[in-house]
Chain A
């Protein structure tokens, strides 16, 4: 039956997009690159592309963490605060001394993990909506950061940090590989581990997952903890290029990371999408920012464009869900008619 062939083709498309992201995003990305090239001579130079990669590192790392949380129908808006905390903590501890670097990184990451665990415990145990929980932790973490730094530039990097931050292999920044490495690990966890399966199951329906024997609380806790840890990693990566710890360095990464996840095709209702799409979403947003900068579009107008892109992405994903539902109904109906003609379901 032709039905089976179509189904198999769709099956392989699903497998591909699980690892490489949805095809429509690749099209969008290609369109953006062409538009950028046409709009500005500088865009396609290796120097500018290096720049784009550099700018996508921090956003990319946070967005990978955000994806894990959004997949289970959660959201973490404390990531911006965690980035700033990791950044200032690291700078404060290192204070220009190279030998304190490992300790600084360890403490910064531990702090991020603790924020993530707090988010997880509060959402899982107390069943408070994640938006409220993370709004609260964001405020707490920001407050602590301000107390610690007195809201001024703080601490000092070790020389190795800047060296690493500016290092590049050819046109590729070294930290960009770190980001890609993190994304690939997350992708493998998402697609090839039981934990990954459980993320999608919980996002689909927490109660069904629970009745099926999925340890829903543990999975949710780990997802939030990982998100906090990744936000701290983003903060550490950011520190590599900065001259000091900035208490406001995380501003904007909360919504930008959610935007990247949504543009990347992960539904805010959970259970669909994944890390591959998010990586593409980050690329789309970074290139868009870059092109608008090159074209000297006012930063206020850029905010408008960014918002419009997010709305458009949500709209598109809602529409594609509806189209899919229509086609499902059609195939189900055809099946019923076929069965009736064949004298009963087979």
Chain B
């Protein structure tokens, strides 16, 4: 970001240029008259909320979609990719956000899928595959054995393999869709080295992200999309966080979190005593009060999700769960639906939603029984139920019959919330409710969480993002390696006062990180 790419802009033609591109899906304009140029040796951040059109633009450049209007220029000449393969052959590599690794195949088979090296007589050469895979893996520095099946890798390792896969194509332009969303800080540094190397080679790296810390860390130029239009395109050196956020959401960063007024503690609704999930969590005890948000902090794998699952009966557990002082023994999630106990899972695709069903049928799923008239589901009532949730959660859709698959990530997450809020929920467990959700939808979900608490719901908020825990929770629990290691009241309601609480959580987790990391994290929120 020190040497502005604008200086040599006139001399070299852009590697790729989008000219007045428009694309429509159903009735929705995904892209409208978008023009962006991507220069060689440039790291170009493409930011915007989910649904702003970033992914659509990437897919057009990658040959997965064709534009309805406008054209794509490569080195000044118009191109029209008919398939992903055509784009790959033209030197466009993509690291997709959704996993594109086949879990059953080994790392090396995945890396070279689609462009396998051939040995003599056109046979697949195992030795060459191994050598090439090793080389590409070293470039991303993941210390990963190429012969391991992908299903054995952690999410972060998979992400590195995804990147190595894109690099193995010797591309002129590398499109990375949310590459840091599942990487740790150290791995993100590693990614920075990879990006630097690509820059030196004159490759253009396009970073699609909604994490603004990525922009300032890596990018030379930033282009902001909002509702399918370009609202800002500038060298990163000439802009600030505030300006980018305003272009993304049309509001200021300071208002990301709602103001929290600490409520009078309500009656205890749910009490957990010595709850254990074999191998995952041990003897965890806490109470949830009506009207309170209880934050559950900890690292991935600390057993937080398992505790939530145990409470709703999704995993077998030992110990006591008391609802209104009465012991309950849920064996399956269906047992607790009628009791007003619900959990919104982290992985909404696998556990929260049926993607190919309309919004209305997803929302009505847990309370179908109450919608039955004369042995049949009352469709009118179902639609009404859905319409109510769509309005109150501000789900952006033109109809309750729209398939959930067609919604953006933030709106999908709101449908999951609506699914549980449509019934009478007294205890709501939220597992990473804003994972993969854009800034605008995050704000709405935060407001919703506080609003639910105001209306008397007891909320358990599981989150890996400290700012979320600190801003939203009335009480904070910390888990580490399966045990509850700290519990504290959160008396500070102002962003400036969180230092004490944050220190306690960090020390409870045994985490002490450098200042720059904390800043990066704060910006990432």
User: Which residues from chain A sit less than 8 Å from chain B, CB to CB?
Assistant: 4, 7-8, 11, 14, 192-194, 196-198, 200-201, 204-205, 208-215, 271-272, 328, 330-333, 335-337, 340, 344-346
A197 touches B124 (CB 8 A): yes
Which of B109, B113, B143, B145 is within 8 Å of A346, CB to CB?
A: B143
Smallest CB gap from B101: residue in A: A208
Which of B100, B109, B113, B300 is within 8 Å of A336, CB to CB?
A: B300
Contact of A332 with B154 at beta-carbon distance under 8 Å, contacts A214-B113, A344-B186 already known: yes
Which of B83, B94, B102, B299 is within 8 Å of A271, CB to CB?
A: B102
Interface residues as binary, B471-495 with A (CB distance below 8 Å gives 1, 0 otherwise): 0000000000100000000000000
Report B-chain residues with C-beta under 8 Å of the C-beta of A208: 99-102
A213 touches B115 (CB 8 A): yes
B184 touches A345 (CB 8 A): yes
Smallest CB gap from A191: residue in B: B124
Could you show 10 A-B contacts with beta carbons less than 8 Å apart?
A: A11-B147, A197-B124, A200-B102, A204-B103, A205-B102, A208-B102, A213-B114, A213-B115, A340-B301, A345-B187
Report A-chain residues with C-beta under 8 Å of the C-beta of B151: 328
Q: Quote the shortest CB–CB distance from A271 to chain B (angstroms).
A: 5
Smallest CB gap from B151: residue in A: A328
Q: Quote the shortest CB–CB distance from B461 to chain A (angstroms).
A: 22
Cα distance A322–B474 in the bound complex, in angstroms: 40
Interface residues as binary, B77-113 with A (CB distance below 8 Å gives 1, 0 otherwise): 0000001110011000010100111111100010001
Report B-chain residues with C-beta under 8 Å of the C-beta of A192: 123-124, 126
Report A-chain residues with C-beta under 8 Å of the C-beta of B300: 336
- The number of inter-chain residue pairs (CB within 8 angstroms) is 98
Cα distance A192–B129 in the bound complex, in angstroms: 11
Lowest 7 CB-CB distances: which A-B pairs, in order? A213-B114, A204-B102, A336-B301, A212-B114, A213-B85, A212-B113, A213-B88
Cα distance A194–B117 in the bound complex, in angstroms: 9
Report B-chain residues with C-beta under 8 Å of the C-beta of A215: 85
Cα distance A271–B151 in the bound complex, in angstroms: 13
Report B-chain residues with C-beta under 8 Å of the C-beta of A213: 84-85, 88-89, 113-115
Task: Flag whether B116 is at the interface (Cβ < 8 A).
Answer: yes
Report A-chain residues with C-beta under 8 Å of the C-beta of B29: none
B116 touches A197 (CB 8 A): yes
Q: Quote the shortest CB–CB distance from B189 to chain A (angstroms).
A: 11
Task: Flag whether B118 is at the interface (Cβ < 8 A).
Answer: yes
Q: Quote the shortest CB–CB distance from B382 to chain A (angstroms).
A: 29
Task: Flag whether B185 is at the interface (Cβ < 8 A).
Answer: yes
Task: Flag whether B156 is at the interface (Cβ < 8 A).
Answer: yes
Cα distance A205–B104 in the bound complex, in angstroms: 10
Which of A197, A272, A337 is within 8 Å of B104, CB to CB?
A: A272
A345 touches B481 (CB 8 A): no
Q: Quote the shortest CB–CB distance from B524 to chain A (angstroms).
A: 17
Report A-chain residues with C-beta under 8 Å of the C-beta of B89: 213
Chain B interface: which size bin?
35 or more
Smallest CB gap from B165: residue in A: A212
Task: Flag whether B452 is at the interface (Cβ < 8 A).
Answer: no
B123 touches A193 (CB 8 A): yes
Q: By CB atoms of chain A within 10 A, which of B104, B145, B149, B301 has the most?
A: B104
Task: Flag whether B152 is at the interface (Cβ < 8 A).
Answer: yes
B101 touches A340 (CB 8 A): no
Report B-chain residues with C-beta under 8 Å of the C-beta of A196: 124
Q: Quote the shortest CB–CB distance from B132 to chain A (angstroms).
A: 14
Cα distance A336–B481 in the bound complex, in angstroms: 10
Task: Flag whether B259 is at the interface (Cβ < 8 A).
Answer: no
Report A-chain residues with C-beta under 8 Å of the C-beta of B152: 7, 328, 331-332
B102 touches A201 (CB 8 A): yes
Report B-chain residues with C-beta under 8 Å of the C-beta of A197: 109, 113, 116, 124
Q: Quote the shortest CB–CB distance from A75 to chain B (angstroms).
A: 19
Task: Flag whether B148 is at the interface (Cβ < 8 A).
Answer: yes
A345 touches B124 (CB 8 A): no
Which of B103, B143, B186, B301 is within 8 Å of A337, CB to CB?
A: B301
Report A-chain residues with C-beta under 8 Å of the C-beta of B100: 208, 211-212
Q: Which of B134-170 contact A (CB under 8 A)?
A: 143, 145, 147-149, 151-152, 154, 156-157, 165
Which of A193, A205, A331 is within 8 Å of B124, CB to CB?
A: A193
Contact of A333 with B301 at beta-carbon distance under 8 Å, contacts A197-B113, A344-B185 already known: yes
In addition to A214-B113, A340-B299, A344-B184, 13 A-B residue pairs with Cβ atoms within 8 Å of each other are A11-B147, A11-B148, A192-B126, A193-B123, A194-B116, A200-B105, A201-B102, A204-B103, A208-B102, A271-B102, A328-B151, A331-B152, A333-B301
Q: By CB atoms of chain A within 10 A, which of B88, B105, B157, B184 has the most?
A: B105
Which of B64, B88, B113, B145 is within 8 Å of A201, CB to CB?
A: B113
Q: By CB atoms of chain A within 10 A, which of B115, B124, B184 has the most?
A: B124
Smallest CB gap from A193: residue in B: B124
A340 touches B143 (CB 8 A): no
A204 touches B104 (CB 8 A): yes
Q: Quote the shortest CB–CB distance from A10 to chain B (angstroms).
A: 9
Report A-chain residues with C-beta under 8 Å of the C-beta of B102: 200-201, 204-205, 208-209, 271
Cα distance A252–B151 in the bound complex, in angstroms: 37
Which of A7, A211, A346 is within 8 Å of B64, CB to CB?
A: A211
Q: Quote the shortest CB–CB distance from B43 to chain A (angstroms).
A: 23
Q: Quote the shortest CB–CB distance from A324 to chain B (angstroms).
A: 8
Q: Which of B317-368 contact A (CB under 8 A)?
A: none
Q: Quote the shortest CB–CB distance from A31 to chain B (angstroms).
A: 28
B118 touches A345 (CB 8 A): no
Report B-chain residues with C-beta under 8 Å of the C-beta of A204: 102-105
A337 touches B115 (CB 8 A): no
Cα distance A345–B301 in the bound complex, in angstroms: 13
Q: Quote the shortest CB–CB distance from A270 to chain B (angstroms).
A: 10
Report A-chain residues with C-beta under 8 Å of the C-beta of B299: 336, 340
Cα distance A170–B1 in the bound complex, in angstroms: 79
Which of A209, A272, A340 is within 8 Å of B481, CB to CB?
A: A340
Cα distance A210–B63 in the bound complex, in angstroms: 11
Q: Quote the shortest CB–CB distance from A184 to chain B (angstroms).
A: 15
Q: By CB atoms of chain B within 10 A, which of A212, A330, A332, A345 has the most?
A: A212
Cα distance A345–B154 in the bound complex, in angstroms: 10
Q: Which of B275-306 contact A (CB under 8 A)?
A: 279, 299-301
Report A-chain residues with C-beta under 8 Å of the C-beta of B109: 197, 200-201
Report B-chain residues with C-beta under 8 Å of the C-beta of A205: 102
Q: Quote the shortest CB–CB distance from B71 to chain A (angstroms).
A: 22
Report A-chain residues with C-beta under 8 Å of the C-beta of B83: 210
B481 touches A194 (CB 8 A): no
A345 touches B116 (CB 8 A): no
Cα distance A193–B116 in the bound complex, in angstroms: 9
Report A-chain residues with C-beta under 8 Å of the C-beta of B118: 194
Report B-chain residues with C-beta under 8 Å of the C-beta of A346: 143
Q: Quote the shortest CB–CB distance from A218 to chain B (angstroms).
A: 11
Report B-chain residues with C-beta under 8 Å of the C-beta of A335: 154
Q: Quote the shortest CB–CB distance from B498 to chain A (angstroms).
A: 23
Q: By CB atoms of chain A within 10 A, which of B96, B101, B154 has the most?
A: B154
Report B-chain residues with C-beta under 8 Å of the C-beta of A271: 102, 104
Cα distance A194–B126 in the bound complex, in angstroms: 11
A194 touches B154 (CB 8 A): no
